[in-house]
Amino acid sequence: MCNQAVGLVAAELERQGISTVTVQLLRYVAERVRPPRALWVPFAHGFPLDAADEPDRQHAVIEAALNLLERPESDAGVLVDFAPEGQAAR
């Protein structure tokens, strides 16, 4: 499914009362579509959770995404940059 469609589906699910979080590889798509909650990750296409065989790093991405569920949806959407350990988030 293309990145734009994921954001649109997330928005519709939220309207139906189901909380969503998307993991975005393309920041410009998240800025354009504005899904309710999105985590932008700076990884290569095909690796939204970072490198294979790196469970600690993958768990960090999942935890960061799930933490967004604690933030309320806004009309403009919530877009957070994933920051690997030791780096600040934008």
Question: For residue 35, what pLDDT is reported?
Answer: 87
53 within some domain: yes
Which structural domain, as residue segments, surrounds residue 32? 3-81
Residue 10 resides in a domain: yes
Task: Report whether pLDDT(60) > 80.
Answer: yes
Give 30-45 pLDDT, tens digit per residue. Answer: 898 888 899 999 999 9
pLDDT at 49 over 90: yes
Domain membership of residue 62 (yes or no) is: yes
Above 50 in pLDDT, residue 88?
Answer: no
pLDDT at residue 17 tops 70 = yes
Q: What's the structural domain count of the chain?
A: 1
* C-alpha torsion sign, points 26, 64, 49, 8: negative
Q: Of 15, 30, 9, 5, which is closest to residue 80 (Cα–Cα)?
A: 30
Q: How much is the mean pLDDT over the chain? A: 85
**pLDDT for 82:** 95
Q: How far apart (Å, rounded) are the C-alpha atoms in residues 54 and 60?
A: 10
